[in-house]
Structure 1
């Protein structure tokens, strides 16, 4: 169906990115994944997965996923001629957010985000930090003004989550909604259930 880039950085909450990858693949999309070195460390610390474990978890979809080396600036995602339906950085550290907001492309993740902005493709940034400092807020404003969607990892509670997975799915569902991808990860407000 679609072609998406998913970035995972060293911010807390790599499980969000893992769940997003699963849902994008489940919806028959092609997914290109870029994980920072810190993102790999945090993933191993916070979850039961390393990147090999993530790949085993999604084994049935391996023909539609490509893991890119963070330092490979010759990867397809670094070029505007590589057409995608959008990029999601989930979770996004304040360091990565600051680099992108200021046009710094030190690695493939930053370059791919820069390509999305310059080509006017959807870029969704999911910051995972609290509280936000003034510099963080300025950088988010700069990205928003450049066309990015700032979608903080803030689970809602009107759907009455029963588990941590429900709270995670709420945020992933909000990202999918922003991409116009149908999903049932949480009950939408205004439905008869409320």
Structure 2
């Protein structure tokens, strides 16, 4: 399996790292694209994952300004794309087909080729323009998710909350993350 993983400027880099680590453990080939906004957020948040932490988990890393990279073309076969976290600005670009960077071009190509595109937003409250963009992205074929962990599995720490979101996100690609407890899965 081969996935494009995009990281944009929304707060929530631990979600990106968790997803990349899980994909690596599942032997999924990953093509990572990190926006300049995401790089700024990593620096500003300081204590969270930094760029080397993310790139160490990826199979291949592409510069966001490289519109000639493999993932910019529909002829480069992938099994889809994950954008985690997906900032409000990136969401707007994806929802309206504005492909000015590799990250947004790869998302556009994913939709164009009718491959799964999962956008994981992490922003609250949601203003009307963002709600409109979420609906437009959905209508264009993307799956929109929020970075909202469940609590029915009785998480003991932040890592378990991240694991929950990662597992739910990777479910969209039919990937099973080991150790994920599903709601009442073992009931007869």
TM-score (norm 1): 0.91
Structure-1 residue corresponding to 2:149: 155
Once the two structures are TM-superposed, the CA of residue 37 in structure 1 deviates from its matched residue by 1.1
The equivalences for 1:26-65 within 5 A come to 26-44=25-43, 45-56=45-56, 58=57, 65=59
Q: CA deviation at 1:48?
A: 4.3
2:76 to 59, 78, 82: 82
Q: Which runs of 4+ in 1 moved over 3 A?
A: 46-49, 53-56
Per the alignment, residue 143 of structure 1 pairs with 137
Residues 83-129 of structure 1: CA deviation (Å, up to 9, x unaligned): 10010000000000001111101100000000000110000000110
Where structure 1 has 5 or more consecutive residues not aligned to the other structure, the ranges are 59-63
Counterpart in the other structure of 2:106: 112
Aligned to 1:5: 4
Change (3 A) 1:101 1:55: closer
Which residue is equivalent to 2:67?
73
The equivalent residue for 1:15 is: 14
Matches of 1:136 and 1:48, distance apart in 2: 26
Asked if 1:168 is matched to 2:162, the reply is: yes
RMSD (Å) for aligned C-alpha atoms:
1.6
Q: CA deviation at 1:50?
A: 2.3
Aligned residues: 187
The whole-number CA distance in structure 1 between the counterparts of 2:24 and 2:180 is 18
Partner of 1:151, secondary structure, is strand
Whole-angstrom distance in 2 between the partners of 1:152 and 1:186: 18
Task: Note closer, same or farther for the CA distance 1:42–1:139 as it changes in structure 2 (3 Å cut).
Answer: same
Distance in 2, matches of 1:128 and 1:24, equals 20
- The answer (yes or no) to whether the contact 1:15–1:47 under 8 Å persists in 2 is no
Change (3 A) 1:185 1:153: farther
Note the C-alpha offset of 1:40.
1.5
